[in-house]
Chain A
Amino acid sequence: AQKITQTQPGMFVQEKEAVTLDCTYDTSDPSYGLFWYKQPSSGEMIFLIYQGSYDQQNATEGRYSLNFQKARKSANLVISASQLGDSAMYFCAMRERFNTDKLIFGTGTRLQVFP
C-alpha cells in the first residue's frame, strides 16, 4: 500500500537559517507525484512545491527546494533563509497511481522559526 511518512513531529530553526523537513514514501509504482503543503495557524493548506517521479532535476520554488532521492524514496523539503512567517505545519503528500486524482498525506511536521 502507498504510504507517506514524516518522522519529525516538530522542528525549530533560527531565522535566516536553512531547515530540512523529512518525507519518505512507499510505492511500488514507477509513476507518481509528490507535493508539499504549508498550513499556517489560519488553517488553509497552501501548495508549495511539486516533484514528479521522472523529473531529472530537483524541484525548486523560490526559497523552497525538494531534495528528491528516488532510490531512497525520500522527498525532503528544504527551506532556505527561514523567516518568522514560515512557522506552520508542513505536509508531504503523494498522488496515487490508480486513483490519480487522490492524494495521500503524511502526518505533518510543525516548524517553529525563532528570532
Chain B
Amino acid sequence: DVKVTQSSRYLVKRTGEKVFLECVQDMDHENMFWYRQDPGLGLRLIYFSYDVKMKEKGDIPEGYSVSREKKERFSLILESASTNQTSMYLCASSLSQGAPRSQETQYFGPGTRLLVL
C-alpha cells in the first residue's frame, strides 16, 4: 500500500514564526503536492513538484515556499506564519502518468491542522 506520512497531525505556532511541514511518501512517486483545505473552499493547490528540486506554483502560493531535495520528501515552509494561514494542510503524491484520462489517483497523507495564534 502507498503510504504518505506528514510530520505532525496538529501544530500550534505564533505569528511570525517559521513553520516547516514535512511530507514523506514511500512509493517512489514522481509527483508531490501540497494543498490547504478550508471550510467551503475545498482543497486548493499551494505548490507541486514533479521531480527532485523541481517545483511549480499552484493556485495560492503566496506566503509559502517548498523544498524537494529527495524524491520521497516534500516540505512546505511558511516563512513568517500569519493567522490567515490557520488551516488544514494536506500532502499528496502520485505517479507521473502524463495523461489526463489516467486512472492514477493521488494518495493523500493524514493532514496537518495548523493553528497560528
Residue of A nearest to B33 (CB): A102
Q: Is A57 in the interface zone, CB < 8 Å from B?
A: no
Q: Is A53 in the interface zone, CB < 8 Å from B?
A: yes
Q: Is B45 in the interface zone, CB < 8 Å from A?
A: yes
Binary interface profile of B, 78-117, with partner A (CB < 8 Å = 1, else 0)?
Answer: 0000000000101010101111111101111111010000
CA distance A107 to B37 in the complex (A): 9
| Main SS at interface, chain A | loop
Residue of A nearest to B38 (CB): A107
Residue of A nearest to B101 (CB): A52
CA distance A6 to B42 in the complex (A): 10
A13 to chain B, nearest CB (A): 21
Is the CB–CB distance between A107 and B100 below 8 Å?
A: no
Chain B residues within an 8 Å CB radius of A91: 42-43
CA distance A103 to B97 in the complex (A): 13
Number of B interface residues, CB 8 Å? 33
Given contacts A43-B88, A44-B110, A45-B92, contact A31 B43 (CB under 8 A): no
Number of A interface residues, CB 8 Å? 31
Given contacts A100-B97, A100-B102, A107-B42, contact A45 B108 (CB under 8 A): yes
Chain A residues within an 8 Å CB radius of B45: 102-103
Chain B residues within an 8 Å CB radius of A50: 103, 105
Chain A residues within an 8 Å CB radius of B90: 43, 45
Q: Is B48 in the interface zone, CB < 8 Å from A?
A: yes
Is the CB–CB distance between A31 and B101 below 8 Å?
A: yes
Chain A residues within an 8 Å CB radius of B99: 100
B85 to chain A, nearest CB (A): 17
Is the CB–CB distance between A97 and B100 below 8 Å?
A: yes
Chain B: residues with CB nearer than 8 A to chain A? 9, 31, 33, 35, 40-45, 48, 50, 58, 88, 90, 92, 94, 96-103, 105-111, 113
